[in-house]
Amino acid sequence: MNTKPWHTALRDGAVAGSVASVLSTAVLAIAGWRQAGSPVAPTNAVSHWLWGDEALHAQRPTLRHTATGYVTHHLAAVFWAGLYSLLYGQRRPAPSVPEAIAGGVATSAVAFAVDYGVVPRRLTPGFEHRLSDNAMLATYASLAVGFAVGAMLVGRRSAP
């Protein structure tokens, strides 16, 4: 069995997902500061899958909520970027800007659909409990931008 596509998907997903995670966490922090009174409130809310409803109301940075929430969010972004890379990332040379943006938007849209249409409430991202619909749109848009930038970074690095 050829495992190279899996290795490439893991590597590319780690890069693109990390870019998307950092960018979207910055958007979550800005929106959380403006709308929830705490830049970490939306990230804390992500940890509700483990800590229950108390995480949805946590305002201060803590290892229990903030670290768990960020790691969960980061791993989810890496998962989605890796899946995209596995399914579509074998196309070389590096994606053009429009292709990268289209891929980022598609990946973010699928993530949103699964997050809010497929998984049980306990496994939703949680930040929807702290943010407006517009802030949610900005968060998923920032994921799309991060996926696109990450795809271009790994595409350029691995292009001939």
* 48-101 confidence digits (pLDDT tens): 999 999 999 999 999 999 999 999 999 999 999 998 888 776 555 667 889 889
Banded pLDDT at 159 (limits 50, 70, 90): very low
The pLDDT value given to residue 5: 77
CA 114 and chain centroid, separation = 13
Enter the tokens of residue 8. 């490439």
Q: Mean pLDDT lowest for which of 16-20, 78-82, 113-117, 153-157?
A: 153-157
First-to-last C-alpha distance (Å) of the chain? 25
Structural domains of the chain, count: 1
111 is in which domain, residue-wise?
A: 4-158
Enter the tokens of residue 17. 């997902």
H-only helix segments in the chain? 4-35, 41-46, 48-51, 54-57, 68-88, 97-117, 133-158
pLDDT greater than 80 at residue 152: yes
In single-letter form, the type of residue at position 97 comes to V
**More confident of the two residues 98 and 7:** 98
Percent with pLDDT over 70 in the chain: 91
**More confident of the two residues 155 and 156:** 155
The span from the CA of 14 to the CA of 82, in Å, is 7
Helices 133-158 + 4-35 axis angle, to 10: 150
The span from the CA of 147 to the CA of 60, in Å, is 29
Q: What is the mean pLDDT of the chain?
A: 91
How do residues 115-124 score in pLDDT, each as one tens digit? Answer: 999 999 999 9
